Structure 1
Amino acid sequence: MPDRADSGPGVRRRGWRARVTGLVMTVAMMSGAAVLAVPGSAQAGVFGPDIACPTDPSIVWTTTVAARNTVVYQGHLFTVTSANRTFIASDGRTVDNGLSSPITATFTSQQSRTYTVITKVGTSAELTSKLQATVSVDIQYSRTTAIGVNAQVTVPAYSRVLGLYGVEVYDVAYTAQRVWMNLARSKCWDRGTQSDTTSAPTLVEGWRFTAG
């Protein structure tokens, strides 16, 4: 026969409380797991470091697939680190005057060359827009130097004149940060930054003359 002390009302109450406590703990553990599994509650760092969404108006946002059944906006934030204006020649001529009196020489451009803004990240149109807004409105996406442009120059006696035909460009160094943004436009992630350079042509082209 079992000991009556092990089967009294007090023992039954303790057993009931133990079962209830165990059930509460189980529900709490299940609830905790459910909270962790709620979509969006642990999104930080899923697609890269969280960043403030950029507001640069030159960014062009397009949609891209970030993961299965997940579409985000993608944009590129360009930052110019340096821009130096210089002249690049597409054609050149020289005239030597061996006479004892000055002469007039006519220089004509006969070769052309195309200069284009190039980027490996984003599009050249996006980068050009950024350069026009932050460096110079003279910058163009692409420019081909003209041919048949004439210029007359006086060449002094016993001297040489060098004529170069070309275009003024900006030698640009820049960074391009790829950014992903959720469709609600409320959260953004850094997808990496690349550094690069390009030559950005301007509207200014023509002849430049120097003593030989």
Structure 2
Amino acid sequence: MTDVAVVTGPSRGIGRATALALARRGLSIALLGPPSPRLDDVTDEVRRLDVAALPVPCDVASEEQVARASAEVVAWLGAPRVVVNNAGIVRRGAKVHESAPAAWDEVMAVNLRGPFLISRAFLPAMLKQRHGRLVHVGSISSTIASPGNASYAASKWGLVGFSKSLAEELRGTGLQSIAVLPGSVDTDMLVGSGFPPQMSADDVARLIVYAALDAPDAVTGSAIEMFG
């Protein structure tokens, strides 16, 4: 049976590059994200690599949509060997005392609640097969901060804590949890940050694939920095 990878936020940037890189390794790909022409495009790109691609409309911050999406993936493709929590958003510019709580909550919902819900939904099936990796895409903002970026930094610092805690819970199960922390990546999300790009989405995808498929089990709990 072909191994399965789940990638959230697959329509562009790091998510798209990761989905294609995993497909080149022969994995079937479940693509979880909002419906869009870009999601259709990456689905077609994956299928042209002669592997299965299952686009699944999903808001990762919605418990109901994540539950429905995970059930569909397991039913159609099987339990995943790899889950890549990549979906993320940024709302930069406002200082803390100028920030709207709704904007803060939106970032936390996608960047931190999302990986929790996705991991929670797929873990039962992964634990049954006693083999797999969960890779969480953090950021350079998981270790340093910049003004006007508190919600994003807090969500990514939290994601590292989540990944490390999950790694400890999974010891002895055959599953590993790893965070990848890229620096300035040449993607749409970098626009307006004031930082020049130091790496490409394909560069980051190669590290994610290494963490997901090739790294020794002992790397579990690591937060792998990639600052260019």
Q: State the TM bucket, normalised to the shorter chain.
A: under 0.3
Highest Rg: 1 or 2? 1
TM-score of the two chains, using structure 1 as the length reference? 0.20
Larger RCO: 1 or 2 (CA < 8 Å, sep 6+): 1
TM-score of the two chains, using structure 2 as the length reference? 0.19
